[in-house]
Amino acid sequence: MLGTSALWVAAALGAPTETTDSHAAELARLRRDVETMSTDLALRKEDLRTRLKATEAQRLEIDVQIRREELRLAQIENEAATRRAELLAHANTGSAVADDVRTSIDQVRSEVERGLPFHRQERLGELGQITSQLDSGITTPEAAAARLWAFCEDELRLAKENGVDRQTVPLAEGEVLADVARLGMVALYFRSDGGVVGQAVRTDAGWTWEVLDDRDDVLAVTALFDKMQHGVRTGAFVLPDAGASP
C-alpha cells in the first residue's frame, strides 16, 4: 500500500518538470528577443541623434549663408543707390555734353564729306553709328566723345601715312573694285582689275573720279603702284595733278 502511494507521488512530482523546462526555454528566447530589440533600438536612437546633429549643422550653415547673402544684397542695393545718385547728378549736364558731342560730330562729318574720297561711306557710317547710339541712349555722351576722339586720331594717321588699299570706285560706266594708292589725304590714285588707271580729282563741286588717258600719266601711276606694293612708302614721283584746292 505504501509502495503504490510513493510511486504516485513521484509521478505527480515528476510530471511538471517537462512543462517548467519548456517555459524556461520560452522565457530565455523572449529575453533574447528583448535584448536584440533593445540593441536595435539603441542603434536606431544613436543613428537618429547623429542625423539630427548633422541636420542641425546644416541648418546653422544655411543660416550663415542666408546672413551672408543678405549682407551682400544690402551692399549691392547700397551700390545701386549710389550709382543712381551719380546718374541723377550727371543727368542735368548730360544733355549739354551730348549737344556738344553732336556739334563736333557734325563738324568732323563735314570735313570727311569735303575731303579725299577714301572709303568715305565707311567713315561716314562710323560717324553715323556714334550719333545713332548717342541719340538712342545706348552710348553715353562721354563714351561718344571718346569714340569721336579715336576716329579723329585715325583721320590724323591717314593724313600722315601713305598706303595701298582696295575700294569701290564710281566711274561713268559703273562702279569698279580697284586698288587705290593714297598719299596722305592729299591724293588718291586707282588701278582697276581690268587695267583702268585714274585718280580722284578735286573740283569746285567736290571730289570726282577720272580715268587717265595720257600715256605718261598712266605710266607714272603704274610705277607708283608697283613701288608702293613692294613696300616703298616715300620717294620722288612725278604724278598727275589732282586739281587745285577750291
What is the average pLDDT across 15-20?
63
Lowest mean pLDDT segment, chosen from 40-54, 96-110, 139-153, 176-190: 40-54
What pLDDT is stored for residue 10 in this prediction? Answer: 46
Lowest mean pLDDT segment, chosen from 43-52, 55-64, 140-149: 55-64
What pLDDT is stored for residue 93 in this prediction? Answer: 60
Cα separations in angstroms, 52 against 59, 201, 216: 10, 90, 100
Please state, in angstroms and rounded to a whole number, the distance separating the CA atoms of residues 224 and 236.
10
What pLDDT is stored for residue 159 in this prediction? Answer: 92
**5 vs 129, higher pLDDT:** 129
What is the average pLDDT across 91-117?
87
* 245, pLDDT greater than 50: no
What pLDDT is stored for residue 234 in this prediction? Answer: 72
* 246, pLDDT greater than 50: no
Measuring CA to CA, which residue among 115, 121, 123, 117 is closest to residue 190? 117
The CA-based dihedral angle spanning residues 236, 202, 123, 103, taken in that order and rounded to the nearest 10 degrees = 120
Measuring CA to CA, which residue among 214, 211, 172 is closest to residue 192? 211
Rounded percentage of the chain residues whose pLDDT exceeds 70? 86
**What residue ranges in the chain does DSSP mark as E strands?**
162-171, 174-183, 187-192, 197-203, 206-211
What one-letter code names the amino acid at 50? T
Q: Highest mean pLDDT: which of 21-30, 56-65, 71-80, 110-119? A: 110-119
Strand pairing class (206-211; 162-171):
unpaired
What pLDDT is stored for residue 66 in this prediction? Answer: 87
What pLDDT is stored for residue 55 in this prediction? Answer: 82
What pLDDT is stored for residue 172 in this prediction? Answer: 86
* 244, pLDDT greater than 80: no
Cell 584746292, residue located = 245
- How confident is the model over 49-67, as pLDDT tens digits? 888 888 888 888 888 888 8
